[in-house]
Amino acid sequence: MRIALLCFLTVAGTFVWHRFFGLPTPLALKVFYGAVIVAVITLTLAIAALVNIWNEGTVGAGKASFAIFLSLALLAVPAISLPSLMYLPRLYEVTTDPANPPAFDRIAKIRQGQANPVLYEAAFGPLQTAAYPDIKPLFVARPLTDVYPAVREAVKALNWKVINEQSPEAANHGYIEAADRTMIFGFTDDVAIRITGTAKGARIDIRSSSRFGQHDLGRNAKRVRVFLAEVKERLAGIDRAERMERQIASRDAAAKADQKRKPATHRREGDED
């Protein structure tokens, strides 16, 4: 029971320290992996102790049961992730353009040491296509200068921390680098967004990459889907606003036309009298 309790408190303290006080992610992961191994051993010993207590009729069943509970609570985290580990490919990043993914610039200077490489691995392309066929570029029939603000607002709405950005006014494309942290454990993932196009249409590409770890458990694909859905909603809002403006302008024009016709009608009636 004491080993299980110590293991549980160590993991809880490690991730609180990592989430709020800047403990390096590689160290936090090592502590967690070690705790999982200890939890398996503790669970085995606690079950053996409980069987022995049952057979011998000795005391200690409560402590053994509590040790089993703590061990199972700790092992629940990797158990929840087990389906993703088994059925999803071993990727730590996805992109809408595997042939030419958006590059990391400012983020490349941050991802040092034990962080994942900043260069996209070509082997990820076929794996991503098979697992996430819906992750594709977003084509928009709107000017590039209209699409970039919508993308910027989507990033803001998702609470991503913008690290670097370039508006299309300064070049022939827009570019945003941002970082996102998972809610519970605070793992950092990096995002690069590229917006290219002309006055007639634009293309949005995104790359989402885990800064640490070799398997993202499908997290990056989910982030890309959420981002693209948010952008589509922003663009749909712009379309609705423009339609409303056109309707208002049309009604105003019709009202002005009616006002011009009425005086003419009154004049004809007066001449007849």
Q: How many Å apart are CA 140 and CA 130, to the nearest integer? A: 25
- Whether 93 and 104 have beta carbons less than 8 Å apart is answered as no
Are 105 and 227 members of one domain?
yes
Interval 171-214: pLDDT, tens: 678 999 999 998 878 899 999 999 999 888 999 999 999 999 99
This prediction has a pTM of: 0.82
Between the CA of residue 120 and those of 4, 5, 47, 94, 103, what are the distances in Å? 41, 42, 46, 9, 8
Residue 84 predicted with pLDDT over 70: yes
- Whether 42 and 3 have beta carbons less than 8 Å apart is answered as yes
Are 14 and 111 members of one domain?
no
Nearest C-alpha neighbor of 230 from the set 178, 152, 176: 152
Nearest C-alpha neighbor of 187 from the set 82, 118, 136, 116: 116
Give me the domain span that covers residue 66: 2-87
Are 26 and 145 members of one domain?
no
CATH number at residue 172: 3.30.310.80
Encoded tokens for 21: 């006080």
CA dihedral for 45, 46, 52, 53, sign (positive or negative)? positive
